[in-house]
Amino acid sequence: MSDIFYRPTWAEIDLDAVAYNIKQMKQKLSSSSNIFAVVKANGYGHGAVKVARAALEAGASALAVALLEEALELRHSGINAPILVLGWVAPDYAKIAAEHDITLTFFQKEWLQELQSHMFSKKLKLHMKWDTGMGRIGIRKDEELQSLVSALKSTEKVQLTGIYTHFATADDTNSAYFHEQQKRFQQLLEVFEKLWDAPIDIHIGNSAASIRFSSEMYDYIRFGIAMYGLYPSEDVRNEKSIDLKPSFSLYSRLIHVKNLPKNESISYGATYVTNGSEWIGTLPIGYADGWIRKLQGMDVLVDGKRMPIVGRICMDQTMICLDKEYPVGTKVTLIGKSGKDEIEMDEIANYIDTINYEIPCMISERIPRVYKKNKLNLS
Ligand SMILES: *Cc1c(COP(=O)(O)O)cnc(C)c1O
């Protein structure tokens, strides 16, 4: 998305907040633990390249993404930090990863064997994934670990640089299943240590695990949602063990304001009818921007005051009910602070029955991201 935009609807990304959140996390971690800044899905919708640069400057030492495409985007923008792909990449493309010094995740013997038929000149770095209870990807049993390690030893041009697992319930106050996964990880690690003596990096924690069990995090943490200033869950938020600053705000401007008498209807289906004389404002944002129809009835902030979305949200426009007349061009806050009030990502998420992670991912690329950064230098 270019820096020039003509429609007055934009997201503001506060990179100083990203840096602040990394520093808060660093203070909790033991000094031997480093940070993977997780910037998959275009940096959870915040902009992968910009967030990656800010995170590295603020003290993260590596990056993690979900797809090879995402890793390549970072490399092509000139970022030289280590990059780990967390998802599965077809062995056919391992060569591309090796050429760009991108670390891949593996957990299948057949996958390693496939590599033999794809010759590549540079060594491919690999992290092995262990499924200790997430049930998604990774090896689960001792036998799988043994056969994977022996396949690894007979595969040329690869270098094991890490092992990791992922927790399913680290964000829950009830830690029983978290500890069960930790136990399984420990058991696999004992087996592994008998088979392998070269140094490798170990990482197990996402944001929730890293915040709640900071001292148990081995060499790296995989820091995603909390880096963006969002709490991994209500439980983690209530524990108040870390202070996070949100980094994503969403703004628009009134493009039309009118006074309607009683009994006039608004938008498709004429589902909203004015109760009396009402000031109605129109915003240039709609469901094609990820501002989905389910947000009908949600508040926005005008001049620090809450005003409801009325009538159905259209593809490109949304109507709100104003408390009085405002000039065209008045700034409207859909996510973020205005005056003394704030609409948090969590409030939007609760309103549409989902988690905060989904909201910035859902705000489409049609909405330009504008970056705010005072404390750091960003090229
Ligand atoms: C997305 C992801 C993370 C980051 O999780 P957060 O909860 O956002 O911190 C960590 N590890 C893996 C494997 C992931 O897929």
Local confidence band at 1 (pLDDT 50, 70, 90 cut-offs): very low
Structure tokens that stand for 131 in this block? 């499924």
Question: Are residues 208 and 122 part of one domain?
Answer: yes
Higher pLDDT: 3 or 136? It is: 136
Question: Are residues 232 and 270 part of one domain?
Answer: no
Active site positions, annotated: 40, 268
Is 376 a residue whose pLDDT tops 60?
no
Question: Are residues 172 and 124 part of one domain?
Answer: yes
pLDDT digits (tens, 9 = 90+) for 149-194: 999 999 989 999 999 999 999 999 999 999 999 999 999 999 999 9
pLDDT at 3: 63
- Mean pLDDT along residues 54-67: 98
Indicate whether 202 belongs to any domain.
yes
Sign of CA dihedral 116, 117, 121, 123: negative
Instruction: Kindly write down the DSSP assignment for every residue of 186-231, as one continuous string.
Output: HHHHHHHHHH--S--EEEEE-HHHHHHSGGG-TTEEEE-GGGGT--
Annotated binding-site residue numbers for substrate: 136, 315
- CA of 44, closest atom in ligand 1: 8
Q: What separation in Å is there between the alpha carbon of 223 and the centre of ligand 1?
A: 7
Question: Are residues 167 and 315 part of one domain?
Answer: no
> Percent of the chain at pLDDT above 70?
98
Question: Are residues 253 and 204 part of one domain?
Answer: no
Indicate whether 135 belongs to any domain.
yes
Indicate whether 378 belongs to any domain.
no
Q: What separation in Å is there between the alpha carbon of 181 and the centre of ligand 1?
A: 16
Question: Are residues 192 and 310 part of one domain?
Answer: no
pLDDT digits (tens, 9 = 90+) for 125-151: 999 999 999 999 999 999 999 999 999
- Taking the C-alpha atoms of residue 323 and residue 339, their distance in angstroms, rounded to an integer, is 16
- CA of 232, closest atom in ligand 1: 7
C-alpha dist (Å) from residue 81 to 35, 74, 200, 226, 291: 12, 9, 17, 21, 34
Question: Are residues 281 and 327 part of one domain?
Answer: yes
Q: Give the DSSP H or E segment for 279.
A: strand 278-283
Q: What separation in Å is there between the alpha carbon of 255 and the centre of ligand 1?
A: 39
What is the three-class DSSP state of 373?
coil
Q: Is the CB of 170 under 6 A from ligand 1?
A: no
Annotated binding-site residue numbers: 136, 315
Q: Which residues contact 156 (CB under 8 A, 6 or more apart)?
A: 116
Question: Are residues 297 and 223 part of one domain?
Answer: no
What is the three-class DSSP state of 116?
coil
Domain that holds residue 166: 15-238
Amino acid at 64: A
Question: Are residues 252 and 231 part of one domain?
Answer: no
Indicate whether 254 belongs to any domain.
yes
Question: Are residues 252 and 224 part of one domain?
Answer: no
Q: Is the CB of 21 under 6 A from ligand 1?
A: no
Indicate whether 78 belongs to any domain.
yes
Q: Is the CB of 222 under 6 A from ligand 1?
A: yes
CATH code of the domain covering residue 57: 3.20.20.10
Domain count, the chain: 2
- Residue 139 is classified by DSSP as B
Q: Is the CB of 37 under 6 A from ligand 1?
A: no
- The answer to whether the beta carbons of residues 206 and 224 sit under 8 Å apart is yes
Local confidence band at 116 (pLDDT 50, 70, 90 cut-offs): confident
Question: Are residues 234 and 286 part of one domain?
Answer: no
For a mutational test of ligand 1's pocket, the pick from 46, 203, 222, i.e. the residue with the most ligand atoms closer than 8 A to its C-beta, is: 222
Instruction: Kindly write down the DSSP assignment for every residue of 284-309, as one continuous string.
Output: S--GGGT--GGGTT-EEEETTEEEEB
pLDDT at 379: 42
pLDDT digits (tens, 9 = 90+) for 278-332: 999 999 999 999 999 999 999 999 999 999 999 999 999 999 999 999 999 999 9
Note the pTM of the prediction, 2 decimals: 0.96
Question: Are residues 324 and 195 part of one domain?
Answer: no
Is 2 a residue whose pLDDT tops 80?
no
